Amino acid sequence: MKELLLFFTKKYKGNWVDIYKAISNKEKLNEEEYQEAINLFEHTKNYISIIDDNYPICFSNLDKPPFVLFYKGNIELLNAKNKIYLTSNFKNDIYKNTLEKIDILKVKHDCVFVSFAWKGEELEICEKLIKNNRKLILVLPCGIKAAKDLFPEFIFNENVLLLSEYWDDYHPTKLAFYARNRLLTALANKMIIISSKEKTLFRIVDEFLAYGKDIYCFQPSINEINNTNKDLINYGATMITNLNEVIN
């Protein structure tokens, strides 16, 4: 069965719906395709399939659980009890001060951060976490090999677990960017927003809410009019003023 999961994942470029149809319709393979499937099974390393005993429970609960997850790094990070999505897309004083305080942040050994590493503030947060030897899970919109063209060198660190439902050389698409939202949401126990603007983060916020996950927002300064954290707090997000309030 694993050989079929690998084959369909490659054939349908990680598209969950197409893979599901192939499996449910019992799509037949010709001799050449069957040999390719066997070859993939014998030579592919660093992956977890949905039929494996160590498949993460958090993904099993998804409406569309990934059939195959490829990874590079310490796969045991998936078992951490406390996984946090720390993000921001607005560079204000609160963001700058919080970024500096990551240097002295007290984090328990079972705390792992998760991220998309969007260019800008989120990527800066990742860089700061990595420099301070924090553990990080990065959910990719592409294959692991293709990620080398998408992310800076510091991302490929021994404390970072790269996670993808796409074949090695698959390059990012709009669909893949949307699809990875569900993986990060399933992984993280909570979301912490340092600062935000233009409701850009509202899509992922909605996913966290749909799965009953906790959302924390830093309190905006009194004079800030562009920080949409105030809207999120008004909608029910928990207001905080310090990372240490919720990090452990």
**pLDDT (tens digit per residue) in 222-233:** 888 889 999 999
DSSP state of 102: G
Single pTM value for the model: 0.93
- Across the chain, mean pLDDT equals 93
Query: Which backbone phi and psi does 209 adopt, to 5 degrees?
Result: -65, -40
Query: Which backbone phi and psi does 230 adopt, to 5 degrees?
Result: -65, -35
CB atoms near residue 205 (< 10 Å) = 22
pLDDT at 108 over 80: no
pLDDT value at residue 134: 94
For 12, the token pair is: 């349908």
pLDDT at 36 over 90: no
Which parts of 15-159 are beta strand (E)? 47-49, 68-72, 82-87, 111-115, 136-139
Map out the domains of the chain with their CATH numbers.
2-72 (no CATH), 75-245 (3.40.50.450)
**pLDDT (tens digit per residue) in 113-143:** 999 999 999 999 999 999 999 999 999 999 9
**Cβ distance 64 to 89 under 8 Å?**
no
What is the percentage of the chain residues whose pLDDT exceeds 70? 100
Query: Which backbone phi and psi does 137 adopt, to 5 degrees?
Result: -110, 125
pLDDT value at residue 48: 95
For 121, the token pair is: 């503030």
**pLDDT (tens digit per residue) in 68-89:** 999 999 999 999 999 999 999 9
List the end-to-end C-alpha distance of the chain, in Å, as a whole number: 40
